[in-house]
Amino acid sequence: MKFARYYPSCSCLYSIVQEQGESFQPLDCLSSLMDFVKGNGIKVTDDPVSNAFLSMNKYENYTRFREVWLPIQE
């Protein structure tokens, strides 16, 4: 079982995205970030890394906020 993971330093775009509902839909919650990447001609170099840092209203609409780091080429 791993409790920590090392990520080598690299250039990244950083964003906070909001999710709602029971299921996690990565393509939906990352769509605005990917629109920014495409609109600015940015080259993505690896998979995104994310961390949910706030969850609320689990029994209503279950809103979560997630930090996302997207590795890019400078």
Predicted model pTM: 0.78
pLDDT at 26: 67
pLDDT over threshold 90, residue 10: yes
- Residue 12 contacts by C-beta under 8 Å, 6 or more apart in sequence? 69, 70, 71, 72
pLDDT at 22: 72
- pLDDT, tens digit, 9 for 90 and up, residues 13-69: 999 988 887 766 666 778 888 999 999 999 999 999 988 888 887 777 788 888 999
pLDDT at 32: 87
pLDDT at 11: 96
